[in-house]
Structure 1
Amino acid sequence: MSSSTRELFGGAITAVAPINLLDASDLRQVPDNQEVLLYPDSTVSIIVEVLERVDTADDDSAIRFHFDSLAHDNSATDSTVDAVAVIPNTRGDKTPPAITLSGRQTVAKFNKVEQDQVRVLMGLFRVDDKRVDLVVTFNVPRVSQDNGAVGDEEWNTVQNHFDTFVRSLCIVDFGLFV
């Protein structure tokens, strides 16, 4: 699957992503502080969200806060963090390093009895002087009641897409965060 640089928030942010991703705002209403991209052949989604910076002791606590907030918003019955890492920005621009998290959440979708197992890949860019946390979340259903689960091969592909996305993410215009 080929990729290209994708403009987000009117070009204020760019990142390399698969070219065939759908813009969810073409299908439904999306809040102004979010960009939502959908994989056309699966239930994988990408959300890029501009949030108020959380006051935490360190970056590990900050990304765990955002992961826990997502679990709460999803009414997850279980959530687990598998790994947290930092990817430095080696490009020389002013985009902060990416704090990344890999985790799992168990969620019941649309009032179904059986629960879905969702892998969550999250990247956090802390824009300290603007008091902003830019959060990138890849939601990847691994067990799904609506046949939307991602198999092992696609999971590996999505992990590579996430890695490329967060390593390439560039904040072009910090004026976005006013």
Structure 2
Amino acid sequence: MARPLFGGALSAVVPPNATDVSELREIPDNQEVFVHAHTDQSVIIELVEYQAQVDDAQAARYHFEDLAGSNKASAEGRWEVQGVEPVPLSQLRLQECSSAWLLTGTQLISKFNEEAKNTVNIHLCVLRLPQYTTDILITLNHPVTISPLSSSATVSAVAGWTLQDFHTLLQSLQLLDPGVFG
């Protein structure tokens, strides 16, 4: 079932066992953040400024590299892009989207600025909406190797979200109120 996002301006089918992080702590107005109830996975839906200087085919890589900087994973060997592919617009409910790109990559990330580094597979989709000067980023963070020194080292080995859950979210996202873009 679709869940309202950004005060009902958007909606999407969020993966099962998702906890809305805004119920636990403050989240920026341009983000919706969900964590899996039993794993260290997270899904982030973020409205960011459209980067007109970035070619559509490079937009996912641009945002991934920006994310690597935010995650302090921008140093050599701390991130890698495995692939970028277009998402057929016919597969999306978000009809306002001019192009969509899906990136698969890995980053070596510290949680809460700890010394311990965790290897996290990142699936990032950028949905481009130039008419609203907005890129919508949808990111699935999936830790694959957790350092024994990380605060996440005690996370359960319960099966988490799948790529199908991520694709369901992408495909179900729809715009209900363009006023969200300001």
Assess same fold via TM > 0.5: yes
1:167 aligns with 2:171: yes
Question: CA RMSD for the aligned pairs?
Answer: 2.2
Partner of 2:120: 118
Please say if residues 94 and 173 of structure 2, whose CA atoms lie closer than 8 Å, have aligned partners that are also in contact: no
- Supply the AA of the counterpart residue of 2:82: D
Higher relative contact order (CA 8 A, sep 6+): 2
Q: Name the TM-score, length of structure 1 as normaliser.
A: 0.87
Please say if residues 43 and 140 of structure 1, whose CA atoms lie closer than 8 Å, have aligned partners that are also in contact: yes
Please say if residues 5 and 14 of structure 1, whose CA atoms lie closer than 8 Å, have aligned partners that are also in contact: yes
Gap regions ≥5 residues in structure 2 = none
Please say if residues 106 and 117 of structure 1, whose CA atoms lie closer than 8 Å, have aligned partners that are also in contact: yes
1:147 aligns with 2:153: yes
Q: Deviations over 1:126-157 (max 9, x none)?
A: 11111111111111111112226786x946x4
Identity of aligned residues (%): 33
| Aligned equivalents of 1:53, 1:46: Cα separation in 2 | 20
Partner of 1:58: 55
- What secondary structure, in the 3-state scheme, does the structure 2 residue paired with 1:42 have? coil
Please say if residues 15 and 169 of structure 2, whose CA atoms lie closer than 8 Å, have aligned partners that are also in contact: no
Paired residues for 1:96-115 under 5 Å: 96=97, 97-115=99-117
Kindly report structure 1 stretches of 4+ aligned residues shifted beyond 3 Å.
Answer: 110-114, 148-151
Q: Name the TM-score, length of structure 2 as normaliser.
A: 0.85
